Amino acid sequence: MLKARIAVLVSGGGTNLQALIDAQNSGIIKHGEISVVISNNADAFALTRAYNSGIPREVVPKAKFNSQQKFEKELIELIEKYNIDLIVLAGFMCILSKDFTSRFPKRIINVHPSLIPAFCGKGFYGLKVHEAALKYGVKVTGATVHFVNEIPDGGEIILQKPVNICRSDTPESLQQRVMRIAEWKILPKAVEMVSFDIVKGKSI
């Protein structure tokens, strides 16, 4: 069966990558296949997860380059080398420029740990999102998978899933619950949805 070729871009532990690998192995992702994992951090545990699953790994350390353009040029060369159809940002801690995102319209997706448009945009990442949700006192948060454009967290929403906030929550406990209940569920579903559309377009 024809499958969309997927690159997963990571920076850290790779829990969302693991959710995608598990979903691929269990058949939740049927129309896509992870072809490469690319990290800007050579020490990212996500690279070990890729190795353990037999997935090719590449490292593009941003600090090695003296410009965003050169960094993104290396990313583009890898994406072309692996004939990638879909780019998934899974805890990738680098903002991508308009020059990069405009090359791949509706071919880059990201998971964000809030219900966009709440607690999103520049400066909202990782624990900062959950700290803001608790500080503001909202009763419901969640996660969003969206297409990526030049505006941080500004692309079209694909899927969202709410998560209730508990009185006893800390940013860390909320982060874990949002990942378990929302991120690890909707990211694989969104990858399958977009992969299916890509494959359908290829077969026409």
Question: What's CA 95's distance to the chain center, in Å?
Answer: 12
> For this structure, is 112 an active site residue?
yes
- Catalytic residue, candidates 31, 112, 130, 146: 112
Rounded CA-CA distance 145/153 in Å is: 9
What type of residue is 123?
Answer: G
Per-residue three-class SS string for the chain: CCCEEEEEEECCCCHHHHHHHHHHHHCCCCCEEEEEEEECCCCCHHHHHHHHCCCCEEECCHHHCCCHHHHHHHHHHHHHHCCCCEEEECCCCCCCCHHHHCCCCCCEEEEECCCCCCCCCCCCCCHHHHHHHHHHCCCEEEEEEEECCCCCCCCCEEEEEEEECCCCCCHHHHHHHHHHHHHHHHHHHHHHHHHHHHHHHHHC
Question: Are residues 193 and 158 in contact, defined by beta-carbon separation less than 8 angstroms?
Answer: yes
Query: Which residues are marked as active site?
Result: 112
